[in-house]
Amino acid sequence: MTTNKTVFITGTSTGLGKLTAKHFAKLGWNVAATMRTPEKETELTAYENIKLFKLDVTKLAEVNAAVDGAIAAFGKIDVVVNNAGMGVYGALELAEEETIDWQFAVNARGPINVIRKFLPHFRANGGGMFINISSFMGVTTAVPLGSLYNMSKFALEGLTEGLYYELKPLNIELRLIEQGGSSGNNFLNNIRWSKDDNITAYDGLMNKVTGMMASRSDEGSLDDPQTIVDAIAAQATGASRQFRTVVGEAGNNLLALRSSVPIEEYLETIAKGYE
């Protein structure tokens, strides 16, 4: 199957981004696969319709060069997937100043940088689509010591919803995909943990949270990442026009609970799981 459509994806070195790049390539799309270290990539280079571009979403010069390079290579970009992201976990009190800024810089400011750079191109083309990869942690709280990650993904959600009104008249569409934790990625290994050996007040909670994360992946209870890729592709191809797609049982169960009880009861229910 071939198409003349092109997708631009951030964070394609591993996990969901890499799988999404391969999926679109197999669908016959052109793929601008961006990553911080394209010189290390060996798998995506095998695809004729995938071109690699160097992009750290926190660096404006790299955003400008990657977007300009992709437009020059493919002529027109139809869909942008803001996938690059990482997690900061640990008590807020213990977080380094630089780590707090980094969490916002990658997960919220990064998509802002990419979206702003693409808007003139989308306006000139008479439309386009941004698919922003959020999390169940963007629509509800659920994991203690994840306040900074929550902050960054709530910010991405607010940005995406807020942009709807100014981009709708320009035929520029917005989508949010919320996953609840999937297998086959480096997310857990890449988490930056905030710790201080002199402050033990959060140790008990920390042990429970790390234990929960380890047991979830051991038990194989994480979602199949292909289900998330399918949800992304459904939006890009127009098979679905859902603004927000929550993928997987864990995320859907949490959101069902959140919408069915008062917030105080929700918070207590989650907190009890970590007592």
Ligand X SMILES: NC(=O)c1ccc[n+]([C@@H]2O[C@H](COP(=O)([O-])OP(=O)(O)OC[C@H]3O[C@@H](n4cnc5c(N)ncnc54)[C@H](OP(=O)(O)O)[C@@H]3O)[C@@H](O)[C@H]2O)c1
Q: Which residues bind ligand X (CB under 6 A)?
A: 10-11, 13-17, 35-37, 55-58, 83-86, 106, 133, 135, 179, 181-182, 185-187, 190
Annotation says 153 is catalytic: yes
Out of 18, 51, 117, 149, pick the active-site residue. Answer: 149
Q: How far is the CB of 82 from ligand X (least distance, A)?
A: 8
Residues 172, 8: Cα–Cα separation, whole Å: 15
Could you say which of 13, 134, 147, 182 is catalytic?
134
CB of 231 to ligand X, least distance (A): 12
134 labelled catalytic = yes
Whole-number Å distance between alpha carbons of 106 and 87: 9
Q: Which is nearer to ligand X, 14 or 49 (CB)?
A: 14
Which residue in this structure is represented by tokens 């009104």? 165
Nearer to ligand X, 56 or 173 (CB): 56
Length of the chain: 275
CB 13 → ligand X: shortest distance, Å? 4
Considering 18, 22, 153, 182, which one is annotated as catalytic? 153
Q: CB of 15: closest distance to ligand X in angstroms?
A: 2
- Distance of closest approach, residue 86 Cβ to ligand X, in angstroms: 5
33, 44 contact by CB (below 8 A)? yes
- Of 122 and 187, nearer to ligand X (C-beta) is 187
User: Which residues are registered as beta bridge partners of 82?
Assistant: 132
Q: Are strands 79-82 and 128-135 parallel, antiparallel or unpaired?
A: parallel
Whole-number Å distance between alpha carbons of 219 and 196: 30
Active site residues: 134, 149, 153
